Structure 1
């Protein structure tokens, strides 16, 4: 991260962070603050909301108004904050387990309502902090602590799931494509509605070691190769960017 961003946007008294070596979460935080800085968003108009998990630890390092909530419940907290103060830019930092498993129902209904939130999903294909269990984003045949001989369930495609549920801005990027990631996040702020950016990121300790990806660099290379494969679940870019009625505006107009 650029030094000026550390001084401006991080709580340096909480550093160094506790993420494992090779984790991509710091790259996502860097991309987020770079996107915020490029748009000159007032820090006092930003609220960061997170749930539970490795990704959700990001909130405690960021020098904004932040709230570290319950597992899977970041979205309803964020919706309440946005309803109470629609002028805020409310950003949700969540993991693939936090968002699509225990918080999956909140995700689809947040999309359906098209409430004006910016959601960034740290997708490392596993429950990283809470024991290395299989998540809805764990690939078929991948090994985890709860699928020791290989995962027998197909994984979600977050972008297609949220498109079907009604999100109005949907993007995907990776920590191996930094400038692209900054651009995806930056563009999400221009949408007045439910915006989601899925970020593919490595978990060397819980996922990599169990799946013959023994170093962070090998996991980054694996992400790059999967993106090159152009399969639906690894394509990067913007998949939807439309304007539809936003929930809070509709709610206020009908009071």
Structure 2
């Protein structure tokens, strides 16, 4: 019998701990396939953040390190400088990266550290109860903004890709999503390009993935995917924000 599809060797056999409809599993699959296809799985070192992806070190079939909340890029920097020939990547949510870890991430990018950041933007704190995140939309109801995010009290959502596009040390930066098959394919290409740039020692790369959190959004999984397209993408438009190799 010919095998047409099998689980990527870039993932372990540990069952994923994510809620039904959460897009973390899709992104894990894309990262794992990329590591295998670029023949860098045996050189890869993952940095797991604090958040829903806190156990990602159990899921990626490569060496991994757990980072304190927000410190993933600081750890990645240290590991990459000691082991410059390894492929080092962080996997972070919007609370971990855009809030408590924003300083570490900005300065790693500014130094042009040759690491790759996979940034999951689902506009909410998922693991800790659905609080408002730096990326929560105006009007979005969370456990800490029960009448909806209000500019006068909470400010505007932070646009990470637009902000990081101004940083000189960034080599490649793209915002993608995985709300339908077409965009899953685009996301895979972006993730692969980011890792290829690191392999070629071109500098800091980051892929922002506009994602879902059905449980804390109070939606069914299918409706959550639709909400990404109808409500999140207009605020966080997809596309390449920086590519220093672009002609």
**Given the two structures, how large is their TM-score scaled by the length of structure 2?**
0.88
Specify the alignment match of 1:40 in structure 2: 39
Q: Is the 8 A contact 1:56 1:95 kept in 2?
A: no
> How many angstroms does 1:219 deviate by?
1.4
> How many angstroms does 1:217 deviate by?
0.6
SS state at 1:92 partner = strand
> How many angstroms does 1:86 deviate by?
0.3
Please state if 1:170 is matched with 2:169.
Answer: no
Q: Among 183, 186, 208, which residue is 1:198 paired with?
A: 208
Q: Among 121, 124, 131, which residue is 2:122 paired with?
A: 124
Q: Distance in 1 between matches of 2:208 and 2:239?
A: 10
Q: Distance in 1 between matches of 2:237 and 2:61?
A: 32
Q: Distance in 2 between matches of 1:77 and 1:182?
A: 25
Please state if 1:217 is matched with 2:222.
Answer: yes
Q: Is the 8 A contact 1:184 1:237 kept in 2?
A: no
Specify the alignment match of 2:50 in structure 1: 52
Q: Is the 8 A contact 2:10 2:36 kept in 1?
A: no
Query: Structure 1: 5+ residue runs without aligned partners?
Result: 244-255
Q: Deviations over 1:43-64 (max 9, x none)?
A: 2210000210013332221110
Q: Distance in 2 between matches of 1:136 and 1:224?
A: 19
Please state if 1:3 is matched with 2:12.
Answer: no
Q: Distance in 2 between matches of 1:222 and 1:125?
A: 12
Q: Distance in 1 between matches of 2:53 and 2:240?
A: 22
> How many angstroms does 1:38 deviate by?
2.4
**Given the two structures, how large is their TM-score scaled by the length of structure 1?**
0.85
Change in CA separation of 1:19 and 1:37 when aligned onto 2, cut-off 3 Å: same
The alignment yields a C-alpha RMSD, in angstroms, of: 1.5
Q: Distance in 2 between matches of 1:239 and 1:218?
A: 28
Q: Deviations over 1:130-155 (max 9, x none)?
A: 12111110111111111111112210
Q: Is the 8 A contact 2:52 2:127 kept in 1?
A: yes
> How many angstroms does 1:128 deviate by?
0.3
> How many angstroms does 1:33 deviate by?
1.4
Q: Distance in 1 between matches of 2:82 and 2:205?
A: 19
Q: Distance in 2 between matches of 1:39 and 1:226?
A: 34
Q: Distance in 1 between matches of 2:53 and 2:231?
A: 22
Q: Is the 8 A contact 2:10 2:33 kept in 1?
A: no
Q: Is the 8 A contact 1:56 1:93 kept in 2?
A: no
Aligned residues: 229
SS state at 1:196 partner = strand
> How many angstroms does 1:129 deviate by?
0.2
